Amino acid sequence: MANAPKPTTVKKESSSSASNVFATLVIPICIVIGFIIWRFVLGDPANFIDNNNENLPLPNNYPGTAYKGGPIVAILIGLLLTTIVFSIERLIVIGKASGKSSLDTFIIKVKGLLNAGNIEAAKAECDKQQGSVANVIKSGLKKYSEVEADTNLDVEQSIVAIQKEVEEATALEMPMLEQNLTIIATLVSIGTLIGLLGTVTGMIRAFAGLANSGAPDQSALAVGISEALINTMTGIGVSTLAIIMYNILTSKIDKLTYAIDEAGFSIVQTYASSHK
């Protein structure tokens, strides 16, 4: 029994497994949806001359023009959907990690209770707040109570024990918050590269139209240029959204980390000042 994993550790491992399954399923599903949108929405015959998607798109018809960007547009739409889904998922997870009420208000309350020496009330506040930050702080407060009751530890050893507990609790919570961020970061590069691939294939088609039997094939030339520009635009759009969301999410995680560090420092300082 002594070597049995903590319930919190088991819970985090379960959450991590669920998140891995989610990531594995989301990407191919989004790509498939991207192809469906490309084929049946952008490729709707109503968007083209004579209701035939083999013809040029109607004047100023942007869905039809996007369809002419080719299958790479479908992949880019899938990547765009992937970015949106993972961004929403991370925002929900980070929002839950912050707790039920304002994080700043919670930290102020906990610090006030610590300064008053009311450890039990601070624990109760953590129970009400919930979330990753509250879990880490409560772990530090529990260790505070344990070392205070342990007469075999001096002040310095007790402080080290509290700091270690906060660090271990943080190490359990942070990976859950940062999970799937690497996918969003990867989409920043992949979106641009696939967009460039579409640009190159489009230009190849455009030059092939120019070289066709000595007389330029205007239709082939228009389709090639359209493919090049649409893929460039979509690839840049995917990368731009991924960069924005990655920066937003990392800044939110940094805020949570700062809140944990601030509360952990307050716990240590409170113990040190009350056990001089």
Which are the contacts of 28, defined by CB distance < 8 A and separation ≥ 6? Answer: none
Q: Phi-psi bin for 212: left (phi > 0), alpha (psi -120 to 50), beta?
A: beta
Backbone angles phi, psi at 137, to 5 degrees: -65, -40
pLDDT at res. 117: 81
- Label residues 113-136 b or e (16+ Cβ within 10 Å = b): bbeeeebeebbebbeebbbbbbbb
pLDDT at res. 14: 57
Q: Which residues of the chain have pLDDT under 50?
A: 1-5, 7, 10
pLDDT at res. 3: 46
pTM of the model: 0.83
Question: 227 in helix, strand or coil?
Answer: helix
pLDDT at res. 209: 67
Residue by residue, DSSP assigns 25-59 as: HHHHHHHHHHHHIIIIIIT-GGGBGGG-TTSPBPT
pLDDT at res. 1: 39
pLDDT at res. 275: 72
